[in-house]
């Protein structure tokens, strides 16, 4: 029996993970999040406890009561530009919270699965394998690098799952994703500028949830890269979306990253080599075109 506690269950990954774990036999789950429980509307059968990961006493209390075998830590401040402008908040949510979780995992003998990011790399020579050197170019990446250092020193069992540009559809989730943004813009006849000089291996949220579950199922330890397998620019992705929905590709303009004024610098070429996750965990991601279909079907519901 695996007892899995999810942090950040209101987020995109948290929701997909709760949905997936519900289908697994011999898994008991506790969803936790700051604020009200958004899962109640879509997965009312999932047990929930409020838990703010930046509150060390609350973390200890919830973990001590539920006594999980695994914590899958999906909660984070992931808005890259917000991290640049609210550095204190970013450190609290992305670094300090990880220390509190590690403390609880060490105290109660819990296996920690920590979700990290391609933005710990500078993007000079992607795609990256697990042993590549971290060198973030923005503050979000720096907070996630600091969190990884905390996890690596932990005396409990741990795994770090790094991922790239996660997209998907979630209930009551404020942010859009590239698939729906492109579809809706083109359907409205808008011309959109899309970056053609940044390379990523975009990840369907369902695939990342699968990777998290496989890491828990296999009691995986160490670092794993869990993303899509295709290296694409946002422009490539937009063209595939237009193709899928049969929309006007001439509305999509190529742009380079320097034309956008954003507080945080973006690494030019990240993306991952995912062969370790495939070989050791049995991880198999969707292609981007399959991902578009998944998102389109969910958005239509």
The answer to whether residue 14 scores a pLDDT higher than 90 is: yes
Report the CATH superfamily, name and number, of domain 2-169+202-229+271-287: NAD(P)-binding Rossmann-like Domain (3.40.50.720)
Q: What are phi and psi of 161, to 5 degrees?
A: -110, 110
Q: How far apart are CA 193 and CA 249, in angstroms?
A: 12
pLDDT of 261: 82
* Segment 122-170, tens digit of pLDDT: 999 999 999 999 999 999 999 999 999 999 999 999 999 999 999 999 9
CB 53 within 8 A of CB 101: yes
pTM: 0.97
pLDDT at 230 over 90: yes
Assess whether pLDDT exceeds 90 at residue 301. no
H or E segment at 29? strand 27-33
Asked whether residue 175 carries a pLDDT value surpassing 80, the answer given is no
Question: What pLDDT, on the 0 to 100 scale, is given for residue 282?
Answer: 98
Distances (CA, A) of 162 to 4, 133, 272: 19, 13, 9
What pLDDT band is residue 110 in, cutting at 50, 70 and 90? very high
What is the C-alpha to C-alpha distance for residues 149 and 147, in angstroms, rounded to an integer? 5
Q: Which pLDDT score is estimated for 100?
A: 98
Q: Let me know if 112 is exposed, middle or buried by CB neighbors in 10 A (0-12, 13-18, 19+).
A: buried
3-state helix, strand, coil in the chain (%, to 5): 45, 20, 40
pLDDT recorded at residue 259: 84
Q: What is the mean pLDDT of residues 94-110?
A: 98
- pLDDT score of 64 more than 90: yes
Instruction: Judge whether 295 and 202 are in contact, CB under 8 Å.
Output: no
Is it the case that residue 174 has pLDDT exceeding 80?
no
pLDDT value of residue 180: 92
Which residue's structure tokens are 């000079």?
A: 124
pLDDT tens for each residue of 254-277: 999 888 888 999 999 999 999 999
> Domain limits of the chain?
2-169+202-229+271-287
What does the pLDDT look like over 181-195, one tens digit per residue?
A: 999 999 999 999 999
């Amino acid at each position: 029996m695996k007892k899995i506690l999810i942090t950040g269950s209101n987020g995109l990954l948290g929701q997909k993970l709760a949905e997936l774990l519900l289908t697994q036999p011999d898994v008991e789950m506790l969803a936790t999040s700051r604020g009200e429980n958004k899962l109640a509307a879509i997965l009312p059968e999932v047990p929930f406890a409020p838990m703010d990961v930046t509150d060390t006493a609350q973390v200890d209390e919830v973990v001590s009561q539920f006594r999980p075998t695994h914590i899958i830590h999906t909660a984070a401040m992931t808005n890259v530009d917000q991290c640049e402008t609210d550095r204190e908040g970013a450190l609290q949510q992305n670094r300090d919270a990880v220390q509190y979780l590690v403390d609880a995992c060490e105290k109660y003998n819990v296996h920690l699965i920590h979700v990290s990011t391609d933005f710990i790399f500078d993007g000079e020579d992607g795609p990256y394998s697990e042993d590549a050197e971290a060198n973030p170019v923005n503050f979000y990446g720096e907070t996630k690098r600091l969190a990884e250092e905390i996890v690596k020193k932990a005396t409990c069992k741990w795994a770090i799952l790094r991922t790239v540009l996660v997209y998907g559809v979630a209930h009551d989730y404020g942010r859009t994703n590239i698939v729906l943004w492109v579809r809706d813009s083109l359907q409205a006849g808008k011309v959109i500028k899309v970056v053609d000089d940044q390379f990523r291996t975009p990840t369907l949220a369902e695939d990342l949830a699968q990777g998290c579950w496989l890491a828990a199922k296999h009691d995986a330890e160490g670092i794993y890269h869990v993303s899509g397998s295709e290296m694409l620019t946002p422009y490539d992705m937009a063209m595939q979306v237009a193709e899928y929905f049969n929309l006007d590709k001439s509305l999509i303009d190529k742009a380079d990253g320097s034309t956008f004024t954003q507080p945080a610098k973006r690494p030019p070429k990240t993306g991952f080599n995912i062969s370790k996750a495939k070989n050791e965990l049995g991880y198999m991601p969707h292609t981007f075109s399959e991902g578009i279909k998944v998102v389109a079907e969910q958005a239509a519901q």
